[in-house]
Chains A and B, each alone.
Chain A
Amino acid sequence: MKTNTVSRRKFLKRAALATTAAVAAPYMRTSYSAGKLTLGCWDHWVPGANDTLTAIVNEWGAKNHVECHIDYITSVGDKDLLTASAEAEAKTGHDIMQHRAWQVQVHRDVLEPVDDVINALVKDHGPIATISEYLAKDRHGKWKGVPTVVGSQVKPCCSRIDLYKQYCGVDVTKIFPFGDNRDQALVDSWNWDLYLSTAEKLFKGGFPVGLPMGQTSDAIDWVGALFRSYGAVFVDEKDNVTVDSAETRAALEYAQKIMKFNPPDVYAWDDAGNNKWLISGKGSSIMNPPSAWAVAKRDNIKVAEQCWTHDMPRGPKGRFAPYLPFYYGVWTFAQNKAAAMDLIHYIVDKPQAKRQVAASVGYDLPAFKSYYDFDTWKTVEPPKGTVYNYPPRGDEELSITGYPARADVAAQIYNQSLQTVMIGKVAQGGEKIDDVVKWAKNECEGYLRS
């Protein structure tokens, strides 16, 4: 019987070749990856949304003979942040981890580049939102996360049709209609000045708008869009601290005015505060994804029937929608990187994205504009077309608080609620704008510490 013998030298040569190939091999979509794969995913608040993602992952697993396991991790109490930080420090954990907006930058040094997945998706579905790119690229221009469908969201206005008509004579369904027949003059009229005058009327009518001013993301997001629409940049791309500007002062002056027409409790609202305000029937408008409307549909249908999601007001420097994308990241210490890349591509691909958007009742917003034609945003009701304008369809630009500072500086502007604290100091604490700007400048200089 003939036996194959491999010399020690030959074995070492082959092993070295195999290792080099494994390390240097580009991501390749394969039909057969095999092995095990673990995912740490955000626990969706919409009932059934997790089931859809599980079904999609299991389908892929069955097709590729990969045993997949998903742990759904809640963001309540920041457990998702804690889990990701623990895994990043311990260099062990899930293969794929879902990250909230800034966390890709936080963990960029322990995340695998995913440019091949992004390139494949962009080739098929067109460009990705600029803000998604800004949040996911590291210092060397490498993508470290793939924007997810699940969890990614914008926070435009969600207003009561009846109250705006009754107290302000404004029909938000005419300004932002269901369908692509916008009247640009009407759209242009929806600016911060009109928002302020209507807020005053609604306040006097006993149905104030509810703009959170606490230190959680709903507050930070809309305030970021306000500052940006006034052209206020806190730290620019070249690390110049530019917060001390006429634009910042103008935004603060505006905020001081608008906060007078909000309930005084907004300074303590968490992310549920504005939702509860609208659902209770006391509030006339909030800035939120369609979660408030969806809960109202379940708990207070009369309010839900009057909810209309539409664009943010325009400022002197443009109209900006607060965007909060989520990402899938593959750890550098993941056990099955090739399979992880393949699975992420499958999950984010258009047919699967459509199912995820439907399962979330339109809450999840993909990063590809070419996905905005999904039926869900046209069909969910009441009223018909209520969330049609949830994906930006007009002159709205996606934005995130802290932009355009380099991402690790912007992450601090965002996570330390710099802008909402500034408004709180001026509007609630009665501090002088100059003093607050000086304080913010000092904070920004601190953020630049390397």
Chain B
Amino acid sequence: MSETIPRTLIAGKGAAPARPGSLYRLSRQRSTIAFLFALPLLVVVGGLIVYPGIYAMYLSTLNRTQTRFLGLGNYTFLLSRDTFWAVVEQSVIFAGTAVLLKALIGIVTAHLVNNLPSKGQRKWRGMLLIPWVIPLSLSTLGWFWLLDPTYSAFNWFFARIGGPHIPWLSDPMWARFCTILVNVWFGAPFFLIMYLAALKSVPQQLYEAAAIDGANAWQKLIHVTLPMMRNIISITVLYSLIVTFANYDIVRVLTSGGPRNKTHVFATWAFQLGIASGDIPLGASVSLFMFPILGISAIFILRGVRRRGKEI
């Protein structure tokens, strides 16, 4: 199909062919049209991500009343606080454990679903995605009722079968376990669907060749499936790590950071400092603390993904 409209149609029959203006030519170019289509998204990303991000960076350089420039003063102050290091420790435990478990559960479940007969597969896929499609704050509220400090539905069930009363949310170790559990429950389906898509794209001939070479199921997984899925695993782990480090809802609804600040993560502590205690610059510094670490990790992971993409 022609990209431009014949000049005669524009100028009218019998008229001398007119030279189209540069603005007209620009508007007819594919790149311009693509840009115009992408413009709403760029505006949204710019307005809701880039601008607030830069503004948060600016805020983090100010004093409590936002009247004095401190440079990196807020960050150095944070490094001297015991509670901050406790929050770092908990955030790393929370995100690291949750992402690892989500990836493991995702890969195992993806294999199971992939091996189901195609007739029933769609039904299972749909059911397994349910935790991911329910709004997180709502499902966490459901979990809160199951784990309620005094009236836990789980404990009610355990009591019926003579089991122990478990302090789900009142003991720091159990509370940490519960926040990770809910995060894994919510996030594992995302890994499942990504890994399932990746599994389906592995060429069948590779498995056939491996079978001819005498490879068993484990060897096929290690030498065929995982290498073919490395890119998608890297990207999902990176994405999930960023999202899990930024998690707010689960901790807020389940524990509010307690008991004894033991379940606070960056986002909940940033809220407590910034909004509740009125120190927005310090809150911004807490929320931005992981940004350089995650940013550098993202660069390395994505570089690896690009390199492997070229090799393939």
* Chain B positions 123 through 139: 1 when the CB is less than 8 Å from some CB of chain A, otherwise 0: 00000000000000100
Measured in the bound complex, the distance between the Cα atoms of B279 and A450 in whole Å is 10
Cβ–Cβ contact A265 & B170, under 8 A: yes
Measured in the bound complex, the distance between the Cα atoms of B257 and A216 in whole Å is 10
Instruction: State how many angstroms separate the Cβ of B121 from the closest Cβ of chain A.
Output: 39
Cβ–Cβ contact A411 & B278, under 8 A: yes
Cβ–Cβ contact A415 & B259, under 8 A: no
Instruction: State how many angstroms separate the Cβ of B292 from the closest Cβ of chain A.
Output: 23
Cβ–Cβ contact A105 & B278, under 8 A: yes
The B-contacting residues of A in range 66-82, CB under 8 angstroms, are: 77-78, 81-82
Cβ–Cβ contact A102 & B278, under 8 A: yes
Cβ–Cβ contact A270 & B256, under 8 A: yes
B residues in contact with A109, CB < 8 Å: 65
The 6 closest A-B pairs by CB, nearest first: A106-B278, A268-B170, A265-B149, A268-B149, A268-B169, A267-B259
The answer to whether B275 has its CB under 8 Å from any CB of chain A is yes
Q: Give 21 CB contacts A-B under 8 Å.
A: A78-B276, A85-B275, A102-B278, A107-B278, A214-B259, A215-B257, A215-B258, A265-B150, A265-B170, A268-B167, A273-B149, A276-B151, A411-B278, A424-B259, A428-B260, A429-B260, A439-B82, A443-B82, A446-B81, A450-B63, A450-B64
Instruction: State how many angstroms separate the Cβ of A338 from the closest Cβ of chain B.
Output: 28
Cβ–Cβ contact B82 & A276, under 8 A: no
The A-contacting residues of B in range 77-131, CB under 8 angstroms, are: 77, 80-83
Measured in the bound complex, the distance between the Cα atoms of B130 and A401 in whole Å is 44
Question: B residues bordering A, Cβ < 8 Å?
Answer: 63-65, 77, 80-83, 137, 149-151, 167-172, 175, 252, 255-261, 271-273, 275-280
The answer to whether A19 has its CB under 8 Å from any CB of chain B is no
A residues in contact with B77, CB < 8 Å: 446, 449
A residues in contact with B273, CB < 8 Å: 416
The answer to whether A351 has its CB under 8 Å from any CB of chain B is no
Cβ–Cβ contact B275 & A82, under 8 A: yes
Measured in the bound complex, the distance between the Cα atoms of B258 and A424 in whole Å is 10
A residues in contact with B257, CB < 8 Å: 215
Cβ–Cβ contact A449 & B64, under 8 A: yes
B residues in contact with A442, CB < 8 Å: 81-82
The B-contacting residues of A in range 96-120, CB under 8 angstroms, are: 102-103, 105-107, 109
* Chain A positions 408 through 448: 1 when the CB is less than 8 Å from some CB of chain B, otherwise 0: 10011001110001001100110000000001001100100
Cβ–Cβ contact B150 & A77, under 8 A: no
Interface residue SS majority, chain B: loop
The answer to whether A394 has its CB under 8 Å from any CB of chain B is no
Q: Which of B170, B258, B277 lies in contact with A415, CB distance below 8 A? A: B277
The answer to whether A42 has its CB under 8 Å from any CB of chain B is no
Instruction: State how many angstroms separate the Cβ of B166 from the closest Cβ of chain A.
Output: 11
The answer to whether A143 has its CB under 8 Å from any CB of chain B is no
The answer to whether A269 has its CB under 8 Å from any CB of chain B is yes
Number of A-B contacts (CB under 8 A): 101
Measured in the bound complex, the distance between the Cα atoms of B83 and A421 in whole Å is 11
The B-contacting residues of A in range 109-137, CB under 8 angstroms, are: 109
Minimal Cβ-Cβ distance residue in B for A414: B277
A residues in contact with B168, CB < 8 Å: 268
Minimal Cβ-Cβ distance residue in A for B74: A449
The answer to whether A266 has its CB under 8 Å from any CB of chain B is yes
Minimal Cβ-Cβ distance residue in B for A446: B81
How many residues of A are counted as interface, with CB atoms below 8 angstroms from the partner's CB atoms? Answer: 44
Q: Which of B170, B260, B272, B277 lies in contact with A425, CB distance below 8 A? A: B260
A residues in contact with B150, CB < 8 Å: 263, 265, 269, 273, 276-277
Minimal Cβ-Cβ distance residue in B for A443: B83
Measured in the bound complex, the distance between the Cα atoms of B149 and A192 in whole Å is 26
Cβ–Cβ contact B272 & A416, under 8 A: yes
Measured in the bound complex, the distance between the Cα atoms of B63 and A73 in whole Å is 30
Q: A77-B252, A443-B83, A450-B63 are in contact. Are A421 and B260 (CB under 8 A)?
A: yes
Cβ–Cβ contact A214 & B64, under 8 A: no
Q: Which of A215, A264, A408 lies in contact with B64, CB distance below 8 A? A: A408
B residues in contact with A412, CB < 8 Å: 277, 279
A residues in contact with B137, CB < 8 Å: 77
Instruction: State how many angstroms separate the Cβ of B127 from the closest Cβ of chain A.
Output: 30
Cβ–Cβ contact B260 & A424, under 8 A: yes
B residues in contact with A428, CB < 8 Å: 259-260
Instruction: State how many angstroms separate the Cβ of B302 from the closest Cβ of chain A.
Output: 33
Minimal Cβ-Cβ distance residue in A for B78: A446
A residues in contact with B259, CB < 8 Å: 213-215, 267-268, 424, 428
B residues in contact with A266, CB < 8 Å: 149, 170
Q: A109-B65, A273-B150, A408-B64 are in contact. Are A268 and B255 (CB under 8 A)?
A: yes
B residues in contact with A215, CB < 8 Å: 256-259, 261
B residues in contact with A78, CB < 8 Å: 271, 275-276
Measured in the bound complex, the distance between the Cα atoms of B148 and A276 in whole Å is 11
Cβ–Cβ contact B170 & A267, under 8 A: yes
Cβ–Cβ contact A81 & B149, under 8 A: no
Minimal Cβ-Cβ distance residue in B for A412: B277
B residues in contact with A273, CB < 8 Å: 149-150
Instruction: State how many angstroms separate the Cβ of A193 from the closest Cβ of chain B.
Output: 27
Most buried by A among B65, B260, B271: B260
Q: A273-B150, A424-B260, A439-B82 are in contact. Are A264 and B277 (CB under 8 A)?
A: no
Measured in the bound complex, the distance between the Cα atoms of B263 and A215 in whole Å is 12
Cβ–Cβ contact A411 & B277, under 8 A: yes
A residues in contact with B82, CB < 8 Å: 439, 442-443
Minimal Cβ-Cβ distance residue in B for A429: B260
A residues in contact with B151, CB < 8 Å: 276
A residues in contact with B258, CB < 8 Å: 214-215, 267-268, 417, 424
